[in-house]
Amino acid sequence: MIKNLDVLKFSWNQLGAKIGVAIIITQILGLAILGVYTANYFLKDLDNKVEQQMTSPGYLMSKGLLSYQAAEDPITMKAIVGAEIKECLVIGLDKKIYYSLQVSHRDKEVKDIAILNEPDVFGKRLEGNYFKRMNRDGISNLVSISPISIDGSKFLGYLYIEASDEKLSASRRIIILTFTIGIFICVVFTSLIILFLFRHFITRRIRILLERIEEMKDGIIDVVENPHFSSDEIGQIHSAFNELNNKLRTLILSIKSGSDNLAIAGDEVNNSAQILSSGSNKQAASTEQVSSSVEEMVSNIHQNTENNDKTTQIAKQAADSTRKVARLAKESLTYINEITGKIKVINEIALQTNLLALNAAVEAARAGQYGKGFSVVAGEVKRLADRSKDAANEINELSVKCVNISKESYQMMTELSPQMEETLKLVEDISAAGLEMRNGSDQINNALLELNQVTQQNAATAEELSGNSDALIQQAKELKAILAYFNVVK
């Protein structure tokens, strides 16, 4: 309620006041024109009604609805006419006064009564009503003269009524006053209503919007629920503003959060940059040390490489020799195996010989005496076979031993050969590795040199980064400080 009274506070800065004043002026002009027109209409109507009222008794008398006697009854006449009756006369065509409100006028004639000197209507037929405002000693009176007839045909006389104009004047004044007051009240009420409506539907909502904008200007951006305004333009502005508010709020919150993170990150970067700078410096120093060490190592590696080359040559020779020994052992074994085979042939021959000897002995046996010589030969042969066999067995044993040794030797060589190969390979690998190491160490050395340069650069960059991160932190702080202006409730 008190808030609603704000509408009464006048200020040219208020939109409502400007529009209100415009409306009120328009209303005053409009209502004044309408009031004057209507008041004039009513005043004319009032005059007509008064004339009608003042002449109505004559009409009623002519119709037999009102007795002539009523002219002498001020209450009745006042009730009909609606005004204070000062004189009421029923005058005959013969100019005699038949009825008179004032006793002194009774039974007199027109010529005896001063107020009847004007107008000169008596003594002749009066067709219409006579109505006039007359001044009696400075007082305005209403005078009407109406014809009295019977059924509109027989003219009997006149009804003269003189009534006070006071009531009519008062009525006129009341009408004017009523219209004036009415217009005033109308203006006031309609203005209040319009202003209230304007305030309720426009100013208030604009003010709410303005308050929001002012809050926003002050950095206060709250969460705003869309008030249940209508969907008119202002409602739409409210909705759009609320949406903007909420989006802005979200954006500011994000920026705030980002600035916080940026500040933190700045700090971290600064720390890292410092660490990096420090590390880079240390690294540079270390790199230099490593570089010198590596140079020395490279020199050693070069030496090792040369040694490796030599070892490789030796290992190659050893491997070749080994492979050769192995091949020879293999060949020896082959030969021995061939010998063994041959022994087996000898042994088979011995066996065959023995068998033959045996057969020969058998045959010799069978040939009895005849074969005794032969049995001796067969026996010799058998012995020889046995001896061959024995010799073959001995050789075989020896060859088996030799084979075994050869096998073992071959085996050993065979086994040694891969090792030798492997050794060679290892040596070669070592050599290759040494070479690669040399190359690598050279590269390392070069890399270290580059690393040293890079480290130097990194240190410089870290220094620069540290400086930049300080600036970033400063910027983040400044951004936070700026964003701190917005009071955004999460």
Partner 1 sequence: MTACKGNRDSTYDVHSDQQSAAVTCTLNWVGHWLSEDKRELLVREACKEVSFMNQDMHINLRFPQELNAKQIPQMAAFIVAETKKDTPDWDVVWLDDRIYESASNLLNDPEWGKKHLYDFSEDSQFLASQKEFIIKDPTYINHYGGILPGPFVEGFYHVLWYNVEVAKKIGITIKDFGMTIEDLLKYFEAAQRYNEAGNPYIAPFYDTKEWNLSMLLFQQILRSCHPDIAFWKQEGNKKQKLAYLRETLDIYQRMAKYEPLYRNHRNVNWFETIDFPLQDSALFYFNGTWMYNLWNSLDSNFLAKMRPAVLPEVRTTNAYLGGYNPSFAVMKKSRNLEKAKALIKYWSSPSLAEKWVRYTKNPTGVKGNVSNNELGGDALSDLMMYLEGRFKGNAYYYTNTNYLLGSNNPDLTGFIGDRLKDILEGKITSEQAYRMILERCNF
Q: Which residues bind partner 1 (CB under 8 A)?
A: 64, 67-69, 90, 92-96, 98-99, 123, 125, 150, 154-157
The neighbouring-strand residues paired with 487 are 220
Which residue, 124 or 490, is less far from partner 1 as judged by CB? 124
Q: Least separation, in Å, of the C-beta of 119 and partner 1?
A: 18
Nearest to 54, CA basis, from 135, 182, 194, 159: 159
How far is the C-alpha of 142 from the C-alpha of 134, rounded, in Å? Answer: 6
How far is the C-alpha of 60 from the C-alpha of 73, rounded, in Å? Answer: 15
Q: Least separation, in Å, of the C-beta of 94 and partner 1?
A: 3
How far is the C-alpha of 53 from the C-alpha of 48, rounded, in Å? Answer: 8
Which residue, 70 or 294, is less far from partner 1 as judged by CB? 70
* Number of alpha helices (DSSP H) and beta strands (DSSP E) in the chain: 6, 7
Which residue, 80 or 350, is less far from partner 1 as judged by CB? 80
Say how far residue 74 (Cα) sits from the centre of its chain: 89
Q: Least separation, in Å, of the C-beta of 156 and partner 1?
A: 6
Which residue, 92 or 379, is less far from partner 1 as judged by CB? 92
Q: Which pairs with CB-CB distance under 8 Å and at least 24 residues apart come from 391-397?
A: 391/346, 392/343, 392/344, 392/346, 392/347, 392/350, 393/347, 395/339, 395/343, 395/346, 396/340, 396/343, 396/344, 396/347
Q: Encoding tokens for residue 315?
A: 């290992």
DSSP 133-190: EEEETTEEEEEEEEEEEETTTEEEEEEEEEEESHHHHHHHHHHHHHHHHHHHHHHHHH
Q: Encoding tokens for residue 256?
A: 């705030």
Q: Least separation, in Å, of the C-beta of 77 and partner 1?
A: 16
Which residue, 96 or 282, is less far from partner 1 as judged by CB? 96
Within 10 angstroms of residue 135's Cβ, the number of other Cβ atoms is 9
How far is the C-alpha of 248 from the C-alpha of 233, rounded, in Å? Answer: 22
Q: Least separation, in Å, of the C-beta of 90 and partner 1?
A: 6
Q: Least separation, in Å, of the C-beta of 148 and partner 1?
A: 8
Q: Least separation, in Å, of the C-beta of 75 and partner 1?
A: 15
Which residue, 49 or 95, is less far from partner 1 as judged by CB? 95
How far is the C-alpha of 82 from the C-alpha of 129, rounded, in Å? Answer: 18
Nearest to 451, CA basis, from 221, 264, 459, 465: 459
Residue whose tokens read 């202003």 = 195
Which residue, 68 or 196, is less far from partner 1 as judged by CB? 68
Which residue, 62 or 311, is less far from partner 1 as judged by CB? 62
Q: Do 78 and 161 touch, CB atoms closer than 8 A?
A: no
DSSP annotation of 9 reads S
Q: Least separation, in Å, of the C-beta of 28 and partner 1?
A: 54
Q: Least separation, in Å, of the C-beta of 123 and partner 1?
A: 7
Q: Least separation, in Å, of the C-beta of 29 and partner 1?
A: 55
DSSP 253-272: HHHHHHHHHHHHHHHHHHHH
Amino acid at 37: Y
Q: Do 55 and 148 touch, CB atoms closer than 8 A?
A: no
Q: Do 407 and 330 touch, CB atoms closer than 8 A?
A: no
Which residue, 151 or 225, is less far from partner 1 as judged by CB? 151
Q: Least separation, in Å, of the C-beta of 93 and partner 1?
A: 4
Which residue, 99 or 486, is less far from partner 1 as judged by CB? 99
Grouping H, G, I as helix, E, B as strand and the rest as coil, residue 428 is: helix
Which residue, 126 or 462, is less far from partner 1 as judged by CB? 126
Which residue, 96 or 324, is less far from partner 1 as judged by CB? 96
